[in-house]
Amino acid sequence: MFLTSNVHCAPLHVSSLSQLNSQSVFSVKYAVKLLKKLADDGNFKLGKVVHALLIVSNHASENHVIQNNCLINLYSRCGQLSIARHIFNRLRQRNIVSWSTLMTGYLHNGFTWEVPKLLKDMVSVDNLFPNEYVLSTVLSSCSNGGLLHEGRQCHALVLKSGLVFHQYVKNALLSLYTMFSDVEGVLEILKSVPGSNNITDNVVLKGFLDHGYTNEALDVFSRMLSEGSVRDKISYVNIFGLCARLKDLKLGKQVHCRMLKSGLQLDVFLSSAVMDMYGKCGEILGARCIFYSYPDHNVVSWTTILAANFQNECFEEALKMFLQMELQDVVPNEYTFAVLLHSCAGLSALGCGKTLHARVEKTGNGTFVVVGNALINMYVRSGHIEAARALFSNMICRDTVTWNLIISGFSHHGLGEDALYMFQDMLAAKEQPNYVTFIGVLLACGHLGRIEEGLYYLQHLMRDFGLEPGLEHYTCVVGLLGKAGKLDEAEKFMRSTPITWDVIAWRTLLNACNVHRNYGLGQKVADHLLRLNPNDVGTYILLSNMHAKVKRWDGVAKMRKLLRERNIKKEPGLSWTEIRNETHMFVSDDTQHPETAQIHEKVRKLLAEIKPLGYVPDTNSVLHDVEQEQQEGYLSYHSEKLAVAYALMKTPSQAPIHIIKNLRICDDCHSALKLISKVTMRMIVVRDVNRFHSFQNGSCSCADYW
Ligand SMILES: [Zn+2]
Ligand SMILES: [Zn+2]
């Protein structure tokens, strides 16, 4: 019966089986050959039949080690480890192949921890000394199973046996040490064992790359180049990975050229690596070109091109390409969804993000940590911090990124206390904080004005976790001191900290000078900033604001003249809001919108409503040396006011309003929105270039410092 049903497998089976059946020509040699073939095919059903025939012909007894080894191999290759083990245990005679076959079975079926135990038994029970195959199997099991201790013991055995010079063993050892990020160990092996082949180089290169040892990887690459051993696809994939990590477009292009010259054909694997390289090196057009030049994409290569778009801030393009992917019936996986959700976060496209959220729940992808993290990011960035909080508390598995997202999310939304509570929870959950964690924590301290706590984290706690504070952390401290009004201390801190401060750091101090009206220091800082970057629009605007606040119109005029002379264009103020999945954009003093008249009317009405509550137009925010009345006019139609007015007109009376602004929100709009939130009893969330402002019942979450 099985003969007919399995005819398609291979002619070998049929002819061999018929020979097995006819007793005259039955040969053990044939049975062994057949078992090997069946093991390769994973043909459990037919394998059992051959086993039965061997039993009947008395060739499977416990004394026939070769046949039994083949049976062990067959059953473990078919995932039937218990049968394999049973045969192994009953063997009267076992040789090294019996042991190594069973070990390989355990390794390939994922029971890695059994393999070192078998090695011990092999040495102590059967008195056999491992050969190179056994040792490389045990080492691979140790690296796959994360068994460092056993791996080191095995390494000792390798040294004792002298088998380290065997390429198999050497490669397995290198994999083990790269897996455990033991670069010293890797270099030691490379140094002490001469000779390397293509496989060795690939193992080491991949290991270094996976664990972030870029310089070491570059050394391996240079050696491979000089030895002319960059040949196969795996090498190219690894080297493109290296270029991506280095963000070295020039090198990436050279490698690409070399690949083209070598005549190596693109496949889905290689095209993904090239796209990834172009994406990470900021050359999105290169990535798209590769994508369209190779037709046969799977979910991995689709996700790679979506990710490349995302990394280059082509968020809309990523979402659009996803539609094409759907049309081609490629099923998205968790990484695809993560990229899409991050793209929504980049656009603050809440509607689209929510649709994707429903989709991941439905497809069961919501339980993946990468997706959970992307969802939190999407909700944080589109201003829905409470939705992010709910998601976080329902997550079953979290990683460092999850904690970092929620901590910095709370910080950016002005919820400093919550951020610090989360940080304590993170430590209690024994999750290791990293560089990014402390940026969120220090920001939170900044919002709360907790100078001592912040300095404690910077100077002690970070070091306790083995982290060296960097520019971002020091900048947070400048912000922290600046916010508390300790401007001189902040400046002293900047002068005494041995680090190269960037424009953002100095601008943080300038902003503090502006808020606290310390114009002397402000001017000094601004001069320094303009020396650092004469084209920095942000500095000119802050400085103009400072001059305007004290009505020094000559200073304002000077700034405007400088801007003109240096041909620096001030970015126009833009605000946008999403209403029923549609994005509406507003430009300051805009009259293009079809409902301009109604929107302006609404703004006038709102301003009239808040005047009795104490709203006085803050004409300092105008940046124009014009008549008082005209100044008020300019203020009224700032893009964020237009957007809020429009959202109030178009959304139900309870709905919170979400606005995104491309620049820093101005003082006047800030105080107007506070009062508008009060008279309309609406929550208004504005994401400006620096942070979130959540206006509710007359006050803002930033506590008027931004
Ligand atoms: Zn404004
Ligand atoms: Zn605010």
How many structural domains compose the chain? 3
Residue 675 Cα to ligand 1 middle (Å): 14
Are both 299 and 341 inside the same structural domain? no
Are both 339 and 307 inside the same structural domain? no
Nearest ligand, measured from the Cα of 694: 2
Within a domain: residue 604? yes
Query: Which residue among 281, 312, 343 closes a domain?
Result: 312
Question: CA 238 to CA 218: how far, in whole Å?
Answer: 11
Looking at residue 336, what is its pLDDT?
96
Within a domain: residue 681? yes
Query: Which residues face 582 on adjacent strands?
Result: 579
Residue 449 Cα to ligand 2 middle (Å): 16
Nearest ligand, measured from the Cα of 667: 1
Which pLDDT tens digit goes with each residue over 210-251? 888 888 888 888 888 888 777 788 889 999 999 999 999 999
**CA neighbor of 179 nearest in space, from 203, 153, 150, 154:** 203
Residue 521 Cα to ligand 1 middle (Å): 26
Residue 436 Cα to ligand 2 middle (Å): 24
Which class for 517: exposed (0-12), middle (13-18), buried (19 or more C-beta within 10 A)?
exposed
**CA neighbor of 462 nearest in space, from 441, 438, 494:** 438
Residue 670 Cα to ligand 2 middle (Å): 6
Are both 246 and 355 inside the same structural domain? no
Looking at residue 634, what is its pLDDT?
62
Q: What is the CA radius of gyration of the chain?
A: 34
Nearest ligand, measured from the Cα of 619: 1
Residue 512 Cα to ligand 1 middle (Å): 19
Question: CA 397 to CA 379: how far, in whole Å?
Answer: 18
Query: Which residue among 378, 397, 416 closes a domain?
Result: 397
Are both 340 and 307 inside the same structural domain? no
Within a domain: residue 370? yes
Distances (CA, A) of 73 to 98, 185, 404: 9, 33, 47
Question: CA 339 to CA 304: how far, in whole Å?
Answer: 9
Nearest ligand, measured from the Cα of 696: 2
Are both 592 and 661 inside the same structural domain? yes
The length of the chain in residues reads 706
Q: Are strands 657-661 and 574-579 parallel, antiparallel or unpaired?
A: antiparallel
Query: Which residue among 380, 397, 414 closes a domain?
Result: 397
pTM score, two decimals?
A: 0.76
Question: CA 325 to CA 335: how far, in whole Å?
Answer: 14
Within a domain: residue 221? yes
Nearest ligand, measured from the Cα of 677: 2
Contact 183, 213 (CB under 8 A): yes
| Dihedral angle over CA of 431, 433, 436, 438, nearest 10 | 130
Are both 307 and 361 inside the same structural domain? no
Handedness of CA 293, 298, 300, 306 (dihedral sign): positive
Looking at residue 3, what is its pLDDT?
35
Nearest ligand, measured from the Cα of 664: 1
Are both 342 and 232 inside the same structural domain? no
Spatial strand order in the sheet of 699-700: 582-587, 574-579, 657-661, 684-687, 692-696, 699-700
Residue 179 backbone dihedrals phi, psi, to 5 degrees: -60, -35
Nearest ligand, measured from the Cα of 573: 1
Within a domain: residue 628? yes
Nearest ligand, measured from the Cα of 665: 1
Tokens at 247, concatenated: 């963000």
- 530 contacts: CB under 8 Å, gap ≥ 6: 536, 539
Are both 383 and 281 inside the same structural domain? no
Are both 588 and 665 inside the same structural domain? yes
Tokens at 244, concatenated: 């991506």
Nearest ligand, measured from the Cα of 634: 1
Contact 16, 43 (CB under 8 A): no
Looking at residue 8, what is its pLDDT?
40
Residue 664 Cα to ligand 1 middle (Å): 9
Within a domain: residue 640? yes
Nearest ligand, measured from the Cα of 515: 2
Residue 639 Cα to ligand 1 middle (Å): 7
Question: CA 243 to CA 230: how far, in whole Å?
Answer: 14
Looking at residue 617, what is its pLDDT?
80
Question: CA 259 to CA 267: how far, in whole Å?
Answer: 12
Residue 225 Cα to ligand 1 middle (Å): 58
Question: CA 20 to CA 28: how far, in whole Å?
Answer: 9
Nearest ligand, measured from the Cα of 644: 1
Residue 689 Cα to ligand 2 middle (Å): 12
Domain limits for position 349: 332-397
Within a domain: residue 291? yes
Are both 294 and 372 inside the same structural domain? no
Looking at residue 264, what is its pLDDT?
87
Tokens at 7, concatenated: 């005819």
> pLDDT averaged over consecutive 10-residue blocks of the chain (706 residues)?
38 50 60 90 90 82 84 93 92 90 93 92 90 92 90 90 85 86 81 77 84 85 82 89 93 92 89 95 94 92 96 94 93 96 90 94 94 96 92 93 96 93 95 95 93 94 93 94 92 92 91 87 89 83 79 79 78 84 82 85 91 80 46 70 92 89 87 93 90 90 82
Question: CA 146 to CA 180: how far, in whole Å?
Answer: 8
Residue 621 Cα to ligand 1 middle (Å): 7
Residue 339 Cα to ligand 2 middle (Å): 30
Within a domain: residue 254? yes
Residue 616 Cα to ligand 1 middle (Å): 13
Residue 334 backbone dihedrals phi, psi, to 5 degrees: -60, -35
Looking at residue 343, what is its pLDDT?
95
Are both 208 and 257 inside the same structural domain? yes
Residue 485: half-sphere exposure toward Cβ, Cα within 13 Å: 2
- 663 contacts: CB under 8 Å, gap ≥ 6: 541, 571, 573, 574, 688, 689
Which pLDDT tens digit goes with each residue over 599-615? 989 999 999 999 888 88
Are both 304 and 353 inside the same structural domain? no
* Per-residue H/E/C for 430-442: CCCCCHHHHHHHH
